[in-house]
Each structure stands twice: as structure tokens, then as C-alpha cells.
Chains A and B, each alone.
Chain A
Amino acid sequence: MNVIINGEKTEIAPETTVEDHLKHLDLNLDTVVVEADGLILKQEEYATLMLKDGMVLELIRFIGGG
């Protein structure tokens, strides 16, 4: 299935949770914010929320800025 992640269409295997995919991307779960279809996820939800076809994910974190 296809999920849009940070604006890019990405192929995802079925039965993948948010947490699964973040780990796959080598991202630190504690410092990444996930917005799924416009809603900000709580960290507890990463392990339970299943990715769906057509879902729009924004992965956001802090960077340097003034």
C-alpha cells in the first residue's frame, strides 16, 4: 500500500504500525512528532496505530533555528 510521508509517496508493507516504520527509518521515537492525516499523534499511539493506504504522514522534529 502507499502512504504519503513528508510529501513523498512511499510503499509500505501491510500491517505496519507507525512505530514499526519509524524504527525502519532509524528515527528516534522520543524526538519525532508524527501527524497522521492532520492529527498529532500521542507517543503511546505509535505502537498501536496501523498505517493505511492513502494516509498522509508528517514526521517532524526540532532543528536549529533562531
Chain B
Amino acid sequence: MLEIAGRTFRSRLFTGTGKFSSSQVMRDALDASGSEMVTVALRRVDLNDPGDDIMQVLDRQKFFFLPNTSGARNADEAMRLARLARASGGGNWLKLEVTPDPRTLLPDPIETLKATEELVKDNFIVLPYMNADPILALRLQDAGASAVMPLGAPIGTNRGLLTIHQVEIIISQARVPVVVDAGLGAPSHAALAMEIGADAVLVNTAIAVAGDPIGMAQAFAKATEAGRQAYEAGLGQQGDAASASSPEQGLGFLDS
């Protein structure tokens, strides 16, 4: 079972709630995914549509809410959103997302580290979204992050685990759970992330924009489980036996 900051999860597939065509589709897809933790964003209430309230659609007994700070372009904005999230009864868990470039939505490493340090001091459980930089992952853990969330590929690109080698390094050095987040476009991507040892994956776009979000959610759930099971069963890694161009150096010099 996966444990993050003292909380256990049976499902290693976390899901986002954005980009769905309707609340009903969202709810049905999330149910189908088996996910126990969903991300939500904070925005101004749409005064023309007061009834559009995600909190009415999702059962908080079933889904643990992980507010994100999407929209924040720097640490200050992220911290403001964090406090708003906490004030709205969102709990003190936070997916820290600081994305100053609206085109790529790539996370700012400096602002993310800064915000993590401040928010941890302010008693938040911080799960920072980050580029797959192993040193940054270590610095975030040193700062008290409860998990690290390296991206597979930029948000919404569905390009899969482009960062696989960096993520492997992150996993090998991690002292906290590693959740691969963003860019996972197909169930096979999620399976691969789990096979290399990730503790969980977070998927949003690929499910939300699929032709059949419910079917896709189920597929992701199965892939995540399969990947994890393969990892626990002891996957053979790809052969790394480099063959040097020079001949073997013999051991004839040994005295025994």
C-alpha cells in the first residue's frame, strides 16, 4: 500500500478533474478509475453560473481532495492560493504548481523550491510538481516535501515518459514517494512509470479528452496496477553489459 505523509492509498492512480466535458462525465470517469485522490484547482466563482460547484459533484468521503496552485506564476501567488485552499476547507495537502510560462506550463524550479520551504514551515503537506531534475528532487526533499512529482512530459502533451532516465535517478535517490505527473498520454506510459519504480502516477488530460473517458479511466487503472505488480515481481532490467573495444584484462597476476 502506498503511504504519503501518513495517509495510505490502495490505488496508485491519482487523477485530475480538469478538461472534462461535463461534471457527470468527470464523476463517472473518476469512479471508474478507482482513484482515491483527485486534484482540484482554485478559481474565481463564475457568478453567471453559481451552481457549477465541483464540491457538489464529488463525494469527499470517497475522493481525497488535493488542491493545486495552478495559475500561480511565482512563489507568492502559490502561497496565496495555498492559504485560500486551506481556508476553504481543502485541508492542508497541496499540489504545488508554479508555472510562469503559459505556453509550456513547465514548473519554475526556483519558485517551487522557495514556496515549498515556506509552505512546509506553515504546516502544509507539500507535493511539488517539478521538472524531472534529480538535484531539484533532492533539494525539495531536504526542504520537507512529502512526495515529489516529476513530469513525464509537459502538461497536456500526452507524450509519455520522455524524462524516463531522469525519473529513474530520482526514484533511486528518493526518500519520499515519487509520483509521475503530467504528460502520461496512454495507459502504457503509466505502466512504464510504475515498472521503473514510481510510487504512483497522476493522470488528467489523457482520461478527460479520450473518446470514452470512462473506458480510458479503467484502462489506466489496470495499467497502473499491472506496472506496479511487474515492478514488485522483480522486473529484469534492460541488459547494460557494455562491451569494451579493448581486449579483456586478465587476472593472471593474482597470487592465488
Contact = CB atoms under 8 A, between A and B. Distances in A.
Q: Do A and B have CB atoms closer than 8 angstroms in the complex?
A: yes
Interface of A: 5-8, 25-28, 30-33, 35, 40-42, 58-66
A27 B42 CA distance: 16
A59 B155 CA distance: 27
B17 interface: yes
Contacts of A66: 16-19, 39, 41, 68, 70, 155, 182, 202, 204-205
Interface of B: 16-20, 26, 39-45, 47, 50-56, 65, 67-68, 70, 83-85, 87-90, 155, 182, 202, 204-205
Contact of B50 (A25, A62, A64): A25
10 contacts: A7-B44, A25-B50, A33-B88, A62-B40, A62-B55, A63-B41, A64-B19, A65-B204, A66-B18, A66-B202
**Best-buried of B20, B45, B52 by chain A (most CB within 10 Å):** B45
A60 B42 contact: yes
Given A26-B50, A27-B45, A40-B83, A63 B40 contact: yes
A62 B44 contact: no
Nearest to A33: B88
Main secondary structure of the interface of B (DSSP, over half): mixed
Contacts of A62: 40-42, 54-55, 65, 67, 85, 88, 90
Contacts of B40: 62-65
Contacts of B43: 60-61, 63
Given A60-B42, A64-B18, 12 more contacts: A27-B50, A30-B55, A30-B89, A31-B56, A59-B47, A61-B54, A62-B42, A62-B55, A63-B40, A63-B52, A66-B19, A66-B39
A32 to B, nearest CB: 6
Contact of A6 (B18, B44, B87): B44
A7 B202 CA distance: 33
A58 B65 CA distance: 22
Contacts of B65: 62
A65 B68 contact: yes
